[in-house]
Structure 1
Amino acid sequence: MRAAIYLIFANLFWAGNFVVGQAAVKTMEPLQLTFWRWALAAVPLLVLAQAVERPDWRAVLRHWRVLLLLSVLGMSGYTLLLYSALQHTSALNASLVTAANPAVIVVLSVVLLRERPRPLGWAGIGLGLAGVLLVLSGGDVERLLTFSLGAGELLIVAAITVWALYTIIARRLSLPAITATAVQVAMAALVLAPVALAAGAGLPATASGNWSLAYIAVFPSLGSYLLWNLALKRTSAANAGNYLNLIAVFTAVITVLLGQPITVPQVLGGVLVISGVLLTGAGRAPQPVSPSNPTSSPASASGLPWFRRR
């Protein structure tokens, strides 16, 4: 019961990242928001890693090359693309498309690693893709035929593709989850610092911007990781992965509570995407899950490790 509570709140905070992030990019540039998110989260995450996992930091830093690559993909690249997308599309659309990430990971695993899903896995991929296309097109097939998708839709597709690459690389890295995440966050902050400084990306100038940044730095960046790891001490990784489907659900609920409309294509597309994720997971052999990063984030609902929402 306690594990379920931890997982529910972890995914609620990750869902909030989509909604609050969309509000934040109205007053902050994606680079500014990305830099300060990781800059504020880096030291607390490093302290958390030391307190919980007590890693051998010298041994960890021997993997600095792959950790830097993962940081560029999962922390800087994914987050910049996500917040850029939220300037052009709704938080609900973004969360629904992101929910298809496990299927994208499987497709790239087939292409790059020659993995072979079971027939049920292929059915899940097809169902998830249909859901994504329904969300992206808003139910208008002509938009797909003429490829007249908006900038937000294209950016979120790019974001989940980058995250899929991140996941495939991170699967081969055997380091404690919080430690790996903390080092990648610190690297992202250091790499982005000169660019942010040159761009004049200071702290938000408005109270609402500061509150948005505070939420993003504390809840999805710190709270969710802590709750996720506490849950994994009490339940299986596969069970925890299934809870990730709550991100799109929570985003939809928050959207309704804020008085924003939800369209029929979004509802139907969301059902197809989540159903496809569950089928994709059933079509794969069980694998260990690690909550690297959100998304680096939690493990995917398909049982793939290092899948995150961030």
Structure 2
Amino acid sequence: MPANFYALGAIALWISLASLGVSLKHVPPFLLTGVALLIGSTLALPFVVRDRTQWKIPTSTLALGVYGLFGYHFLLFIALRHAPAVEANLVNYLWPLFMVVLAPLFLRGVQLRAVHVAAALLGFAGAAIAILGAAGGTASGGWSWGYLPALASAFIWASYSLLTKRVPAFPTAAIGLFGLVSGGLSLLCHWALEPAAALSAQDWLLLAVMGLGPLGAAFFLWDKALKLGDARQIGILSYLTPLGSTALLMLVSGRALSWSIGLAAAMIIGAAVLGTRAR
């Protein structure tokens, strides 16, 4: 299905996000996100220059886009500051599960079957094994209030993804406007909440790669996938993101792939096959 190819394209780009983030970990997170989103928004400029109506969308649609792109990253960064990173990241990856189970509530005519729930739970279990296994036993137990914004960020991305199918149809190029406004808000957060930082030439190069890839083109591909495809199937496929991201991060850091990655891969691929075959 074409929708799944667009979704897989977005997933492939998001897989590189963690590795790029490690290379830019010295950059304040709101500065990083703001610059990358602004760079990513430039991908829409050729379409807007050719047809200025591409960015003439209802205010409610723009608000939804900012809710998704800015709200998700804002809460995720708050979570990562106030909760153990491994567990917060795992809570954040509840968003594919939310996409599946919330689809009937947000979308008319969509019903949830047992096979979809089973596939989503299998995918989340695989993601948990991948993330916790990669932590190498360094994950810390106990409750942290930072899990609440992590949970909220997962809900925001899932609900944003589903609600884009509810609002009046808008051109995919409008994602660039979402990124432009969200990037501006992120830079305001940097100015208000973070210390000033100087960026090197290498930092700018990596920020350009991040902006054009996982915080740019991925959002356009994701929107196209949601417009064409079944949100339940796309949500299940999305569990390939934490699997691929964790595996790539281990390879980049020179760590050998563990049995947990192999088991997680089998579970997530099995969930994807199960979910995409469901009718």
TM-score (norm 2): 0.70
Q: Which residue of 2 aligns with 1:36?
A: 35
Distance 2:182 2:85 in 1: 25
Give per-residue Cα distances to partners, 1:170-205, cap 9 Å, x unaligned.
111343443221121122133334333334565643
Q: Which residue of 2 aligns with 1:172?
A: 166
What's the CA shift for 1:40? 2.8
- The alignment partner of 1:56 has SS state of helix
Unaligned regions of 5+ residues in structure 2, if any?
none
Aligned match for 1:45, one of 28, 43, 46: 43
Bigger drift between 163-172 and 153-162 goes to: 153-162
Q: Which residue of 1 aligns with 2:129?
A: 134
Q: How many residues align?
A: 265
Percent identity for Structure 1 against Structure 2: 19
What aligned pairs does 1:77-88 form with structure 2 within 5 A after superposition?
77-82=71-76
Question: Does residue 1:21 correspond to 2:21, yes or no?
Answer: yes
Unaligned regions of 5+ residues in structure 1, if any?
286-310
Distance 1:216 1:267 in 2: 27
What's the CA shift for 1:32? 1.5
What aligned pairs does 1:140-159 form with structure 2 within 5 A after superposition?
148=142, 157-159=151-153
What aligned pairs does 1:267-282 form with structure 2 within 5 A after superposition?
267-282=262-277
Distance 1:129 1:12 in 2: 18
Answer whether contact 1:127 1:273 (CA < 8 A) is retained. Answer: yes
Q: Which residue of 1 aligns with 2:53?
A: 56
Answer whether contact 1:131 1:272 (CA < 8 A) is retained. Answer: yes
Distance 1:157 1:216 in 2: 24
Give per-residue Cα distances to partners, 1:124-177, cap 9 Å, x unaligned.
12312332443455499xx99x96378898765543322111112111134344
What's the CA shift for 1:105? 0.5
Q: Which residue of 1 aligns with 2:119?
A: 124
RMSD, aligned α-carbons: 4.5
Distance 2:128 2:188 in 1: 38
Answer whether contact 1:21 1:83 (CA < 8 A) is retained. Answer: no
Distance 2:134 2:144 in 1: 14
- The alignment partner of 2:16 has SS state of helix
- The alignment partner of 2:177 has SS state of helix
Higher helix proportion (structure 1 or 2): 2
| Distance change >3 Å, CA 30–CA 128, structure 1 → 2 | same
Distance 2:243 2:131 in 1: 17
Distance 1:126 1:264 in 2: 20
Answer whether contact 1:45 1:182 (CA < 8 A) is retained. Answer: yes
Q: Which residue of 2 aligns with 1:297?
A: none
Answer whether contact 2:28 2:190 (CA < 8 A) is retained. Answer: no
Answer whether contact 1:55 1:179 (CA < 8 A) is retained. Answer: no
What's the CA shift for 1:120? 1.7
TM-score (norm 1): 0.64
Answer whether contact 1:32 1:196 (CA < 8 A) is retained. Answer: yes
Aligned match for 1:102, one of 93, 96, 102: 96
| Distance change >3 Å, CA 148–CA 275, structure 1 → 2 | farther
What aligned pairs does 1:177-188 form with structure 2 within 5 A after superposition?
177-188=171-182
Give per-residue Cα distances to partners, 1:192-249, cap 9 Å, x unaligned.
34333334565643454333322212233445567x49x98xxx867x9698666456
